[in-house]
Amino acid sequence: KIQLLKANTEGDLSNDVSKHFSVIVDRDPAVQEARLKLPVCGEEQVIMEAIRNNTVVIICGETGSGKTTQVPQFLYEAGWSHPDSDNPGLIGVTQPRRVATVSMAKRVGHELNLSEDEVSYQIRYDATVSDKTRIKFMTDGVLLRELSQDLLLTKYSVLIIDEAHERNLNTDILIGVVSRVLKLRAQLSREDREKIQPLRVVIMSATLRVTDFTENKTLFATPPPVINVNARQFPVNTHFNRRTPEDHLSEAFKKVCKIHQKLPHGGILVFLTGQNEITQLCRQLRKKYPSLPANASKKAVADEKDGEALESQTEKIQPGKEDLENEDIDLGENQVQEDFDLETDSEDDDDLGFEEDEMEQVDDAPLHVLPLYSMLPTEAQLRVFEPPPEGSRLCVIATNVAETSVTIPGVRYVVDSGKAKERQFDMNTGVQSFQIGWTSKAAADQRAGRAGRTGPGHCYRLYSSAVFDNEFERFTKPEIQRMPIEGVVLNMKSMHIDNVINFPFPTPPPRDSLSKAEKMLGYLGAVNTTTKQITAFGETMSLFPITPRFAKMLTVGQQHECLAYVIAIVSALSVGDPFIQDYHLDENRPGDEEDSEDDLDQQELSNFHNESAIDKQKRKLVRKKYYQTQVKHSSLDPKSDIIKLLNVVGAYEYAGGSSEFCNDSFLRPRAMEDIRKLRRQLTNMVAANFPGVNVCVDPKMAPPSALQLKVLRQVMMTGLIDCVAMRQDVVDTEGGKGQRFKNASNVPYKLMWSDDVAYIHPSSILYGQEPPPILVYTELFKSTRTWLKGCTTVESKWLAKIGKSLCTFGRPLEYPKPTPIAGKPNERLCHVVPNFGPKGWPLPPLQ
């Protein structure tokens, strides 16, 4: 505590904050009684003292110890945000998740006996903020947007950054920005400083790693004090499955049934990965245990229905980045049968870890099943805090929102699927997707801990201890380390954080990858290369939840009614290669042996290995034929792998999206479905954000005209402007030396900014044709050689226009050396500007 009293020198302590102000709060006696039991209330004095004496304070405490609901109340009672006090600014609280933002605002309002006007929330689509607001809960995304208007955060007297342990990109950036805000405030002249009220920052975290915040000197020069709140935690018995089931959903169903039928009273909390799974399990459990009092169940279902309506509505509005972070994006897997035969259970994993005499036969007792996920309407969310109907057992099926952000009372049994839906990125292509994977050990322990809040509990892990030991990471990686850096940089620029290189990230990405990303965004025209600020063009790009290259294509894609095609293309590129590769099956085509299998799904792989030699031979023939048909089909424009991709998407939709078509065409059905979903999402986003733009909502598109195909290749080039490769012999001969290569399949290409040469990959449609003098590629693939994948033939005179800044004209052998253009270049084409708008912007294609 002595350490706490030592003032933190950073910031603006000279502007003292009131010490003896208190506000009388008229709490409901029941509320008062309950809150006094919370561990954090025992530390009220220490916490308040620390906040008064330090600019930044870190509060660490087990989930459920009362941080989120109580700390704002301590501040409120001590006069913070009171108009007559020395610190009349708002008490701001940020949350990474929308569910928690709304429910915590409501809870604190309820505990303080204040209205929604006074304890308000603001999330992307909804706000209750008014002039009377004293405590404001908001998502960190909302505050980041606010920061671009008011960098000094003059509206706030104290800012609480909650759930910092989650290490979301937004939270990390927010902590970085806020550390700069404090520095800026400290640098103000005394006079200026007196014009604004002092600001205190409180970072709250569950008891996970906080050293990233305390030991990072660029963040806070003096390490902020850490207050540990010791919550009483009852022992939790953890039981692993003996084997790890394929289908965690049906396993969870069985486990819940067993717990409910055999174990003494106490709530059950099940962790699944998303809305889809949750709704399914709820439905199954309600079907099996329908004995909920009729009214309550009807009401619950009606509220959830609202949620579904809301869900489809939001899908239409189609949100930006923040919404992609939502854990509820429907991945559409896990089709589970409605009924399980409990009798056929294997002996394995039957053990609940209880002695016979401890078990009760509670057969047919009602089970009060409630879902909890972000898109659920607030009403339905808050129901988890209500006591279940008399005589019934509470069973909450939740996403990892119940891991640390929301504490559900009365939970004694936790059923942990061990899975979480996480945003993942392909580091090569920058492709974003939602993947279900194992969570971390820290997160699993956190989940288990939920069973020990009110008494000793049990956690049933639906996976084996070997899986836990070997496959779970220690901690969940900070999101910033999982994202391709160009996306992060564009994100930050759109928040007007211009100097990304020196930005105080809690976990900084490598410096040179930051400057590379910044450079690339410069080429794409998203960032002004001198001022390093985002351009209007970049602002538009940053609205799309895809990698900047693809966002660029989308943003220029409106010309010549190409937008629907461009959307299809970027969706396909974002999802990744839908082809089951065939090139390695053909001995006549000298592919690279080593890379032959990495594009296959595991499932496909195993099918593939189990094939008999004859089948293999057959398959090979079919594929070869297929491949040739593909080429022929694309003969409209055999100049681009990307156009081939477009052909496939178009053909798939014409075939009604059937899995037969996929089988016949050697396409991965999952990938094709994902492409369709992303197309729909991007189409909706364009329609919602750019009202004048005509986008084709019908998934079936007419094939593009020859003119459009040409435009499309140019649009692709705008996004791949720094991925240009030129035939080595063309470079050489134009420089007056060297010779033309004879063997068309083996022509080396020279890469920009590199002495490396690369070759057209056998999977490319360009392979085996007369190699174009110049091309752009989507991927460099290194194995025995460097391969160019996703190639598109372009023309050097386009380069001179689209990528003018990357060209050197006039002198020989400067790379790339475009053919000089006759006449005055079309200036409008040099700067490809966003052309979303009521009028559109028809351009002639480049010649």
Interaction site with ligand ADP (CB under 6 A): 38, 61, 63-70, 103, 107, 382, 385, 407, 409
Instruction: Tell me which of Mg ion, ligand ADP, none is bound by residue 382, counting a contact when its beta carbon lies within the kind-specific cut-off of 5 to 8 angstroms.
Output: ligand ADP
E-state strands within 124-229: 126-127, 135-139, 156-161, 200-205, 226-229
Please state the closest distance from residue 109 (CB atom) to ligand ADP, in A: 10
Residue listed under structure tokens 């009060």: 368
Q: Which is nearer to Mg ion, 68 or 157 (CB)?
A: 68
Please identify, using beta-carbon distances, which residue of 239 and 393 lies nearer to ligand ADP: 393
Distance CA 546, CA 18 (A): 47
| Residue number, 68 or 244, with CB nearest to Mg ion | 68
Beta bridge partners of 838: none
Q: What's the one-letter identity of residue 778?
A: T
Return the range that interacts with Mg ion (CB under 5 A); candidates 62-70, 82-90, 571-579, 660-668.
62-70
Beta carbon nearer to ligand ADP, 14 or 115 = 115
Phi, psi of 727 (to 5 degrees): -55, 130
Question: Could you tell me if 649 and 572 are in contact, meaning their C-beta atoms sit under 8 angstroms apart?
Answer: yes
Task: Pick between residue 68 and residue 684 the one whose CB is nearest to ligand ADP.
Answer: 68
Q: How far is the CB of 52 from ligand ADP (least distance, A)?
A: 21
- Pick the piece of the chain touching Mg ion (CB under 5 A) from 60-68, 123-131, 371-379, 547-555: 60-68
**Token representation of residue 476:** 């969940």
* Comparison of 122 and 381: residue with beta carbon closer to ligand ADP: 381
Nearer to ligand ADP, 68 or 714 (CB): 68
Q: Which is nearer to Mg ion, 71 or 270 (CB)?
A: 71
66 binds, among ligand ADP, Mg ion, none (CB under 5 to 8 A by kind): ligand ADP
Q: Does 69 sit near Mg ion (CB under 5 A)?
A: no
> Binding segment for Mg ion among 66-74, 222-230, 644-652, 791-799 (CB under 5 A)?
66-74
From the CB of 192, what's the least distance to ligand ADP, in Å? Answer: 36
The partner in contact with residue 457, picked from ligand ADP, Mg ion, none with C-beta cut-offs of 5 to 8 angstroms by kind, is none
In the complex, least distance from residue 471 CB atom to ligand ADP, rounded to whole angstroms: 28
85 binds, among ligand ADP, Mg ion, none (CB under 5 to 8 A by kind): none
Please enumerate in sequence order all residues whose Cβ is within 8 A of that of 698, keeping only pairs 6 or more positions apart, or say none.
Answer: none
Task: For residue 70, state whether it binds Mg ion (rule: CB under 5 A).
Answer: no
Which one, of 385, 450, 447, 452, lies nearest residue 420 by Cα?
A: 447
C-beta of 68: minimal distance to Mg ion in Å?
3
Q: Which of 753, 739, 838 is nearest to 803 (CA)?
A: 753
The pairing of strands 419-426 and 431-438 is: antiparallel
Strand pairing of 267-271 and 724-727? unpaired
Spatial separation of the C-alpha atoms in residues 578 and 474, rounded to whole Å: 33
Instruction: Determine, following the binding rule CB under 5 A, whether residue 446 of this chain makes contact with Mg ion.
Output: no
- Pick what 409 binds: Mg ion, ligand ADP, none; C-beta below 5 to 8 Å, kind-dependent: ligand ADP
- CB 108, min distance to ligand ADP, A: 9
Least Å distance between CB 277 and ligand ADP?
A: 24
Tell me the closest approach of the beta carbon of residue 198 to ligand ADP, in angstroms.
Answer: 25
For 600-707, strand residue ranges (E) read none
* CB closer to ligand ADP out of 109 and 762: 109
- C-alpha 183/C-alpha 18 separation (Å) is 22
Structure token pair of residue 11: 């910031």
Strand partners, 122: 127, 138
- Alpha-carbon distance 667 to 651, whole Å? 11
What does the alpha-carbon distance between residue 757 and residue 750 come to, in Å, rounded to a whole number? 5
Which residue's CB atom is positioned nearest to Mg ion? 68
Our CB check for Mg ion shows the closer of 102 and 492 to be: 102
38 and 11 Cβ atoms separated by less than 8 Å: no
> Which residue number, 66 or 371, has a Cβ lying nearer to ligand ADP?
66
Burial string for 420-440 (b: 16+ CB within 10 Å, else e) reads: bbbbebeeebbbbbbebebbb
Stretch that binds Mg ion, among 61-69, 232-240, 321-329, 549-557 (CB under 5 A): 61-69
Which residues make Cβ contacts (< 8 Å) with residue 775, sequence separation at least 6?
Answer: 724, 725, 749, 760, 766, 788, 791, 792, 793, 794
| Residue 53: CB minimum distance to Mg ion, A | 24
* Partner in contact with 318, chosen from ligand ADP, Mg ion, none, beta carbon below 5 to 8 Å by kind: none
Q: What is the largest CA-CA distance in the chain?
A: 94
> Pick from ligand ADP, Mg ion, none: which does 207 bind, CB < 5 to 8 A by kind?
none
CB of 163 to Mg ion, least distance (A): 6
Angle between helices 563-575 and 641-654 (to 10 degrees): 100
Asked whether 192 and 28 are in contact (CB, 8 A), the reply is no
- Which stretch, 64-72, 137-145, 609-617, 820-828, contacts Mg ion (CB under 5 A)? 64-72
3-state secondary structure of 161: strand
68 touches Mg ion (CB under 5 A): yes
Between residues 382 and 821, which has the closer beta carbon with respect to ligand ADP? 382
Measured from the CB of residue 349, what is the shortest distance to ligand ADP in angstroms?
30
What is the sign of the dihedral through the CA atoms of 621, 790, 427 and 542? negative
Q: What is the β-pairing status of strands 411-416 and 267-271?
A: parallel
CB of 405 to Mg ion, least distance (A): 6
CB 316 within 8 A of CB 685: no
Nearest to residue 507, comparing CAs of 488, 487, 535? Answer: 488
Name the site residues for Mg ion (rule: CB under 5 A).
68
